[in-house]
Amino acid sequence: MSKKRVIVIGGGAAGMMAAGRAAESGADVLLLEKTGSRGAKLLLAGEGRCNLTNTRELADFIEAYGPNGRFLYRAFDLFFREELLEFLGRFGVGTVNEIDGRIFPASNSSADVLKAFEAYMLENRVRLETGKEVDAIIVSEGRVTGVSAGGAEYPAESVVIATGGASYPATGSTGAGYRLAGAAGHRIVRIRPALVPLAVCDVEAVKNMQGVSLSGVRLTAFACNALEIPCGGVLRDAGRGIPGKSPKPPVVESRIGDVIFTHFGLSGPGVLKISLAVADALENGPVSIAIDLRPRLTWEEMRVEIQKRFDRFSKRNYRNILLELLPPKLVDPFQRMTGVPAEKVGSQINAEERERLVKLIKCLSFVVKGPFSLASAMVTAGGVALPEIDPATMQSKLVKGLYFAGEVMDIDGETGGFNLQAAFSTGRLAGESAAAED
Ligand SMILES: Cc1cc2nc3c(=O)[nH]c(=O)nc-3n(C[C@H](O)[C@H](O)[C@H](O)COP(=O)(O)OP(=O)(O)OC[C@H]3O[C@@H](n4cnc5c(N)ncnc54)[C@H](O)[C@@H]3O)c2cc1C
């Protein structure tokens, strides 16, 4: 009996896994990749170190994808972290666990992960054609019969769309999969940037702080203008990936993280994490971000702390007192924003002036202009609508023989290895299902 023909479109993390697994499961597999090489985005991942997955327990892991995470249970049943690490180990890639449960290759090299996938595909005789951009899925009587690329037709009984999202287009992920799936009748959930820096309206303010990096601060997005932020209360973690903690309006999301001030706004891991919630909230009105520089202190404790400093340094001038409290690059902007003269000595600074400083430290706020472009986002949110895909097989519910894997679907996760794990797991399931008899 002749082998089932499977075509995988896209040679990223999901496509390489799908192709290797389909071939390992007995199919004759052709991988079509539009660029000259495979795994361009995989090589960039984790700044070249490739944050492969995360040590979080399954239920928490699923939370990292927001409400759509439930779709992944079946794929994770088949192939989760342990299976991924075992798979990579088979190709000589050991791993290390780092802060926040992040798992990286022990060699710190994405290239070693790519080599493992190349060896897997070679071992299972996947045929690979690079420089082949698929421009249509051929469907006849509700079932896939092949694809067309560059004027040529490639027949197949199963096709896996693993074309990635629409961010970092230089890696080949230009959103082609949305057009292919859309033409086959699939609904595409509006695509938007996730894990992306945020531009603020008051560019001058952040420019003055450019280059400053703060770790362990509380970042809270509020659905209102900066002047309307309800300052003074206790804020707790709330938002996507934080089990059972839905944010209470006007809070959109709140979490502890790191922030970097840039020439246009805010970046850093904490900002990337809240960026999707901010982008979505901006659809309905203004959004502001408040940074609490001392999240471990309540407002009252902060007041006491500041009072103590001014008492202790009663003869020092305000600027020098600020130098004791803040990173050097924040001193001048804070002095200007509080409006307290730099030369005024501690003993002359009154309660109202101290309160202005407390407010800036506990609630340094910026009105958000918008997320940075989709092209610069680490991940694309939105994509092929999940209700039209069978989570047990990754097969389209509309077109027989059509499968999906990776970021092209309406799945996006936090930073921390969640996006690659989703790509590997859905790729594995799609490849195995595409090769199976139907
Ligand atoms: C800078 C950066 C760093 C990241 N770091 C991490 C990290 O450390 N950990 C993590 O979990 N996630 C990380 N991510 C996200 C993660 O890399 C992606 O979610 C993941 O690689 C998606 O895999 P994919 O196979 O679905 O798509 P992609 O890797 O984007 O692959 C899609 C492939 O399809 C090809 N293609 C597209 N259209 C066609 C067509 N019509 N015909 C043929 N081929 C086509 C493309 O050329 C591309 O090779 C990072 C992303 C970026 C941008």
Among 56, 132, 196, 420, residue to substitute to test ligand 1 (most atoms within 8 Å of Cβ): 420
Mutate to test the pocket of ligand 1, among 7, 378, 425, 428 (most ligand atoms within 8 A of CB): 378
Q: Check whether 232 has a pLDDT greater than 90.
A: no
Amino acid at 45: A
Count the residues in the chain.
438
CA of 343 to the centre of ligand 1 (A): 54
Other CB atoms within a 10 A radius of the CB of residue 152 amount to: 9
Q: In this predicted structure, what is the pLDDT of residue 437?
A: 82
Selection from 352, 341, 348 nearest residue 314 by Cα = 348
Q: Which amino acid is at 316?
A: R
Is the bond into 250 cis (omega within 30 degrees of 0)?
Answer: yes
Quick check: 244 pLDDT over 80?
Answer: no
Residue ranges per domain, the chain?
5-194+378-435, 197-372
The span from the CA of 258 to the CA of 253, in Å, is: 15
* pLDDT surpasses 90 at 350: yes
CATH of domain 5-194+378-435: 3.50.50.60
Kindly state if the Cβ of 413 falls inside 6 Å of ligand 1: no
Q: pLDDT tier at 193 (50, 70, 90 boundaries)?
A: very high
Q: What are φ and ψ of residue 360, in 5° steps?
A: -70, -40
Residue 72 CB neighbour total at 10 angstroms: 26
Confidence (pTM): 0.93
Per-residue pLDDT averaged across 364-376, rounded? 95
Q: How far is CA 203 from CA 360, 364, 380, in A?
A: 17, 14, 26
For 12-65, how does the pLDDT look when each residue is reduced to its tens digit (9 = 90+)?
999 999 999 999 999 999 999 999 999 999 999 999 999 999 999 999 999 999
- HEC sequence for the chain: CCCCEEEEECCCHHHHHHHHHHHHCCCEEEEEECCCCCCHHHHHHHHHCCCCEECCCHHHHHHCCHHHHHHHHHHHHHCCHHHHHHHHHHCCCCEEECHHHEEEECCCCHHHHHHHHHHHHHHCCCEEEECCCEEEEEEECCEEEEEEECCEEEECCEEEECCCCCCCHHHCCCCHHHHHHHHCCCCEEEEEEECCCEEECCHHHHHCCCCCEEEEEEEEEECCCHHHCCCCCCCCCECCCCCCCCCCCCEEEEEEEEEEECCCEEECHHHHHHHHHHHHHHCCCCCEEEEECCCCCCHHHHHHHHHHHHHHCCCCEHHHHHHHHCCHHHHHHHHHHHCCCCCCEHHHCCHHHHHHHHHHHHCEEEEEEEECCHHHCCEEEEEECHHHECCCCCEECCCECEEECHHHECCCCCCCCHHHHHHHHHHHHHHHHHHCCC
**Pocket of ligand 1, candidates 99, 173, 410, 429: which has the most ligand atoms within 8 Å of its Cβ, to mutate?**
173
Residue-level pLDDT at 246: 81
pLDDT tens digits for 141-187? 999 999 999 999 999 999 999 999 999 999 999 999 999 999 999 99
Cα–ligand 1 centroid distance for 182 (angstroms): 20
For residue 240, what pLDDT is reported? Answer: 81
Mean pLDDT of 271-277: 95
Residue 199 confidence (pLDDT): 97
pLDDT tier, 2 (very low <50, low <70, confident <90, very high otherwise): confident
CA of 34 to the centre of ligand 1 (A): 13
| Residue 245 scores a pLDDT above 80 | no
162 lines ligand 1 (CB under 6 A): yes
Q: For residue 242, what pLDDT band results from cuts at 50, 70 and 90?
A: confident
Q: For position 412, what pLDDT does the model report?
A: 97
pLDDT for position 60: 92
CA–CA distance from 214 to each of 276, 321, 378 (Å)?
21, 19, 21
Q: Does the beta carbon of 335 sit less than 6 angstroms from any atom of ligand 1? A: no
**13 close to ligand 1 (CB < 6 Angstrom):** yes
pLDDT average, residue stretch 376-384: 96
Nearest atom of ligand 1 to the alpha carbon of 45: 5
Evaluate: CB of 105 within 6 angstroms of ligand 1.
no
- Asked if 377 and 176 count as a contact pair (C-beta separation under 8 A), the reply is no
Would residue 299 be called left, alpha or beta, if left means φ above 0 and alpha means ψ between -120 and 50 degrees? alpha
How large is the average pLDDT for residues 275-303? 96
Ligand 1 site, residue 40, Cβ cutoff 6 A: yes
Residue from 419, 424, 428, 429 to probe ligand 1 pocket by mutation (most atoms less than 8 Å from CB): 419
Is the pLDDT at 241 greater than 90, yes or no? no
CA 275 → CA 236, 268, 293, distances in Å?
18, 11, 19
Mean pLDDT of the chain: 96
Task: Identify which of 422, 327, 395, 436 has the alpha carbon closest to the alpha carbon of residue 161.
Answer: 395
